[in-house]
Each structure stands twice: as structure tokens, then as C-alpha cells.
Amino acid sequence: MKIIKENITDQIYNVLKEKIIRRDIKPGEQINPKDIANKYDISIMPVRDALLRLVNKGLVVNKSRVGFFVKSFSCKEIKEIMELRKMFETYCLRENFDLLDKIRIKRIKNYMSAIEGNLTREEFDKIDFELHDYFINVSNNSYLIKNYSQLIDFFHLFRGLDIDRLKEAHQEHQEILNAILDNDRSKAVEKLERHIEMVTLAILNNLKGDQDTSSAS
């Protein structure tokens, strides 16, 4: 990637955040500002500024006199963050069910059905982003949306640990949409709650697997 000599901090921030979310830079791994600066032929200050922004976002930790490291999340932290996600999304779906655009929901469902036989991670993520964000944004509650948006990077990061349930999660999305189209509020909320619980369980199981592998090596 070529770095344009304008808004360098923003560009480095976005590059590093994407690498962290995609787990190209692993949890616990150190990030050397000098190496990043040399790689993109820029000064070290915008790199440090970008890293400090990532610290504020909770994706990086700055250990005094040691350096910057990608944050490692404990099982407890993941459970707490995903519990917040479930709380936000199920509340919004329950309280704003009548505001859902059924034409949009039908379009998403038809698209999901069309790609079911050739489901890729990229296609799944595209639907996943749209569907879950829509449940929040339909609330039109700026304070709620702002607080949820502060957690989105964590959700995207944890998604990298939920890699074995593509078909199952796709089916769970369809069940949520079917309940909405059947105008069954309680069932839709129940299906969404169950979906997030299953995602959380998969994330925790894969995290444990990562930690066991690291310990063994």
C-alpha cells in the first residue's frame, strides 16, 4: 500500500486497525513504530499518533517503557462485550420491530437464499454487517447508536474467531428474517438472542483453542 503524504495518521490508523481486526497482527504481538515508519517511508510521529488512537479504541495497549502491543482479550472480557451486543441488538429489535422495512428485509433474505450454495466469508460478512447494523440504526436513537458504534471494532475483531460456523450462522440469520417477515416479534428477538449466544460460544471455544496451541508451542 502506498501512503499519500496527507492525513498520514488516519491512513496508518486504518491500516493497523484492519491488520488487527483481520488478525494479521496477532493478539499480544508487539507493534514497533519504527518498523512501521520505515516500511511506509514516513516519520515515526504519525505512527505513534495512530497507535495512541488505537489505544483509546481499546485495540492496542501501551506498556510503559516496553512499547505497543495488540490487546489480548480474556474470556471474561469477550463475554461482557458480547453481552452488551446482545443487550443492544435485542432491545432495538424488540422496541422498533414495527419500524422495520419489510421490503428491505425481504431483499436481504432473497440475496441470502441466492448465495446459499456458494457462501463465502466475504459474502457472509457483508450480510452480517448490514443486518446487525440495521437493527441498531432503525432505532434512530443517536445516543444508543453512538455507544454501539464504540463496540463495533471489537465485534469485527472477535468475528475472526468465529470462522467455523459460516453455514450455521447463515441459517440463524435466515431464521431471524423469517420471524420478522412472519411478523412474530417474540420469535425474532428469541432467534437473534440465540444467534448472538452461539456466536459468543464459538468465539470463546476458538479463543481457548488458540491459547492451548500457543501453550503447546
Same domain for 101 and 122? yes
Is the same domain home to 65 and 99? no
Question: What does the pLDDT average to over 39-55?
Answer: 95
Last residue of a domain, one of 22, 40, 70: 70
Average pLDDT of the segment spanning 86-97 = 98
* Domain membership of residue 34 as a residue range: 8-70
pLDDT band at 174 (very low <50, low <70, confident <90, very high): very high
Do 137 and 198 belong together in one domain?
yes
User: Do residues 16 and 102 both lie within one domain?
Assistant: no
Confidence of residue 159 (pLDDT cuts 50, 70, 90): confident
Q: Are 139 and 92 in contact (CB under 8 A)?
A: yes
Task: Give the end of a domain, one of 46, 70, 94.
Answer: 70
State how far the Cα of 151 lies from the Cα of 128, in Å rounded to an integer.
15
Assess whether 32 and 99 both reside in one domain: no
CA angle 81, 86, 87 (to 5 degrees): 95
Q: Is residue 42 part of a domain?
A: yes
pLDDT at 3 (0 to 100): 55
pLDDT over threshold 60, residue 209? no
What is the tens place of the pLDDT at every residue in 100-134?
999 999 999 999 999 988 888 888 888 999 999 99
1 located within any domain: no
If asked whether residues 44 and 123 sit together in one domain, one would say: no
C-alpha cell at 27: 493478539
Same domain as 79, residue 61 = no
On whether both 65 and 79 belong to a single domain, the answer is: no
Are residues 41 and 81 both part of a single domain? no
Q: Is residue 3 part of a domain?
A: no
pTM, two decimals, is: 0.84
pLDDT value for 210: 56
Q: What is the mean pLDDT of the chain?
A: 90
Residues 57 and 80 in one domain: no
What's the CATH code of the domain at 139?
Answer: 1.20.120.530
Question: How many domains, the chain?
Answer: 2
CATH number, residue 19:
1.10.10.10
Whether 115 and 201 share a structural domain: yes
Q: Does residue 124 sit within a domain?
A: yes
Rounded to whole angstroms, the Cα distance separating 210 from 157 reads 14
Average pLDDT (143-152) is: 93
Residue 178 contacts residue 141 (beta carbons within 8 Å): no
Q: Are residues 102 and 182 in the same domain?
A: yes
Cell numbers linked to 52: 495512541
